[in-house]
């Protein structure tokens, strides 16, 4: 998706392996609670260039668009430029969930994060979206930070964009749902040391590696984040230093026949490997 931003952005990405039970209205109801910090969406539609004012839409037509587009685009221009994209694992033809991942992505101007109180409210929104979607994993990072850690080729292929391959990495905020906590080991999250961590209501964990999402250039921080990847298990993560290594993921859809089984991650070797 093309994002209409002229300045540095902060990105929020969640993924999950199952349907979202509360759908469009559950999402909009929780999102509306963040109007005080300018984060409630004003427009919605099936594509970035085809959105309409939410207040002017008929609810039946909005619901039809949500089902037809398997999600959609949410936008706001002021006081912060914000674009959200939802892609759900719902087959619009059979009206049944399919074995693939659902995505929630949000792009937001970095200027929003200059105020500590707004940052706290943003993390509340992240927790609410995590709960709404029963997410398997999520992260918050500066777009330039993500590019530095995940771009295999300049402006081209990125590693770790999809949990079917691997976890993308460790960033400012990192959400691990119960599936990953059980698979990687509850005891690791309990003993892991980082700037801040929080046990979530569903048994997942939130890890913050530093005070601010905008402060990501410190070499000591990179060492700390690499240490978290090693501690939780390198087999589960994409790493730019070894982008072609084999990886593994949880058995999201019961393919292994084991309650806590592992599956090989889809490999980047599906693409042309540089020589």
- At 54-111, the pLDDT tens digits run 998 888 999 999 988 889 999 999 999 999 999 987 655 555 556 789 999 999 999 9
**DSSP string covering 120-157:** HHHHHHHHHHHHHHT-SEEEEEEHHHHHHHHBSSTTS-
pTM of the model: 0.92
Strand partners, 25: none
Residue 112 confidence (pLDDT): 97
Q: What is the DSSP string of 2-36?
A: ----SS-EEEEEEEESS--TTHHHHHHHHHGGGGG
**pLDDT confidence of residue 13:** 97
Segment 254-270 shows an average pLDDT of 70
Contacts of 53 (CB under 8 A, 6+ apart): 42, 43
Tokens of 227: 């240490």
Torsion angle defined by CA atoms of residues 50, 52, 57 and 60, in that order, rounded to the nearest 10 degrees: 20
pLDDT of residue 162: 92
Average pLDDT over residues 160-174: 94
The Cβ of residue 21 has, within 10 Å, a number of other Cβ atoms equal to 9
Residue with tokens 């999250």: 189
């Amino acid at each position: 998706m093309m994002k209409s931003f002229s300045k540095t952005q902060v990105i929020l990405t969640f993924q999950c392996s199952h349907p979202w039970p509360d759908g469009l209205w559950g999402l909009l109801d929780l999102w509306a609670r963040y109007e005080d910090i300018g984060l409630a969406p004003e427009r919605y539609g099936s594509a970035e260039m085809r959105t309409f004012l939410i207040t002017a839409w008929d609810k039946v037509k909005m619901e039809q668009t949500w089902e037809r587009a398997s999600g959609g685009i949410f936008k706001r221009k002021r006081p912060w430029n914000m674009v959200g994209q939802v892609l759900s694992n719902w087959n619009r033809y059979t009206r049944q969930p399919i074995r693939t991942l659902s995505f929630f992505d949000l792009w937001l101007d970095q200027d929003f994060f200059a105020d500590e109180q707004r940052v706290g409210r943003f993390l509340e929104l992240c927790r609410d979206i995590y709960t709404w979607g029963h997410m398997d994993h999520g992260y918050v990072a500066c777009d330039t930070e993500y590019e530095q850690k995940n771009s295999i080729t300049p402006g081209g292929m990125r590693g770790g964009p999809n949990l079917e391959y691997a976890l993308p990495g460790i960033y400012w905020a990192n959400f691990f749902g119960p599936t990953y906590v059980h698979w990687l080991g509850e005891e690791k999250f309990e003993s892991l040391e980082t700037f801040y961590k929080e046990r979530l209501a569903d048994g997942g964990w939130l890890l913050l590696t530093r005070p601010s999402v905008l402060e990501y250039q410190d070499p000591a921080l990179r060492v700390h984040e690499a240490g978290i990847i090693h501690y939780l298990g390198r087999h589960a993560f994409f790493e730019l230093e070894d982008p072609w290594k084999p990886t593994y993921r949880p058995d999201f859809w019961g393919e292994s026949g084991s309650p806590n089984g592992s599956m090989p991650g889809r490999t980047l070797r599906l693409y042309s490997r540089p020589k």
